[in-house]
Amino acid sequence: MARREIAQISRGKGSTVTLRLGGRTLDGPTVMAVVNRTPDSFFDKGATFGFDAAMAAVDRAVADGAEVIDIGGVKAGPGDEVDVKEELRRVVDTVAAVRERHPSVVISVDTWRAEVGDAVARAGADLLNDTWGGPDPELAAVAAEHGLGLVCAHAGRQQPRTRPHRVAYDDVVADVIAHVTAEAERAVGLGVRPDGILIDPAHDFGKNTRQSLEISRRLNEMVATGWPVLVAVSNKDFIGEALGRPVDKRGVGTMAVLGVSAHLGARMFRVHDVAGARQALDHVVALGLAPRP
């Protein structure tokens, strides 16, 4: 696909990009399961930090209907420093084991570091999920070199593992779209396959609750770019603050946002509760409120 055609898609012209990852064509609402190899993750508090626990979680997620497994080795928020060596120790063997045990599942790795991206590509990953919006400009080149997909996200130009403080945008949705489409076009220019790219507004990353809710209401504007949209809202703080719910009581709110996002055209959904999300999304499709695969 020519660069000019990609630019037209980013302005809402042309056909929607087909999504192909790991040899699979992903149509309709796709579930991405969160598996954190971290001792301090905000939701599961380290429940899948151990290797055996992580593999058991992968097995459950696949059985419950996840098409994509997203493996992370660094907590998103502030916490103990995790250097490249430690991140590699946490994720590379996990990727290799998942690839051996589940040959057809799409493996994603949540990282912003090119060195980690290169290592997990060699271990069998299919997708690099850069939730921090491109702080390491070499990550896209790594995806291109290995034929991997890439998630282009928006974090408001915040540094990794920082929380937003008095962030302001003239129009948060316009800022998100401008950033993620520019990152997608840059990735294509470096050789990343257009059919392996997703864009992600990254709710709560460089955004407050009001801004994350605005993105949710106007998600169709991101969908109109033509790039497949990834939504990662599972149990996040904007849901908790809006509903007055602690982190372990945000499941119903999460499902509500997933349903709205599917109706507005999102394609991939990063979640903790795979079985619940799969059922909710299938119901949205059955009701005729989201495209059938």
- pLDDT tens string 157-196: 999 999 888 899 999 999 999 999 999 999 999 999 999 9
Q: Which burial class, exposed, middle or buried, applies to 222 when counting CB atoms under 10 A from its CB (0-12, 13-18, 19+)? A: buried
Q: Is residue 47 part of a domain?
A: yes
Q: Is residue 68 part of a domain?
A: yes
Q: Look up the domain containing 138 and give its range.
A: 3-286
pLDDT of the residue at 292: 81
Structural contact between residues 285 and 29, judged by C-beta atoms closer than 8 angstroms: yes
Q: Is residue 246 part of a domain?
A: yes
Q: Is residue 247 part of a domain?
A: yes
Q: Is 75 a catalytic residue?
A: no
- To the nearest 10 degrees (0 to 180), the angle between helices 84-101 and 51-63 is 40
Q: Which member of 37, 218, 267, 270 is catalytic?
A: 270
For 5-45, what is each residue's pLDDT tens digit?
Answer: 444 444 333 346 789 999 999 999 999 999 999 999 999 99
Q: Which member of 236, 250, 267, 278 is catalytic?
A: 236
* CATH code (residue 87): 3.20.20.20
Q: Is residue 291 part of a domain?
A: no
Does the pLDDT of residue 112 top 90, yes or no? yes
Cα angle, residue 181 at apex, residues 176 and 260 outer, rounded to 5°: 55
Residue 181 CB coordination number (10 Å): 22
Average pLDDT over residues 116-125: 98
Say what the pTM is.
0.94
Which residues, including other chains, have CB under 8 Å from residue 49's CB and lie 6 or more apart?
36, 37, 38, 39
Structural domain count of the chain: 1
pLDDT of the residue at 275: 98
Q: Is residue 20 part of a domain?
A: yes
Q: Is 236 a catalytic residue?
A: yes
Q: Is residue 293 part of a domain?
A: no
Q: Is residue 281 part of a domain?
A: yes
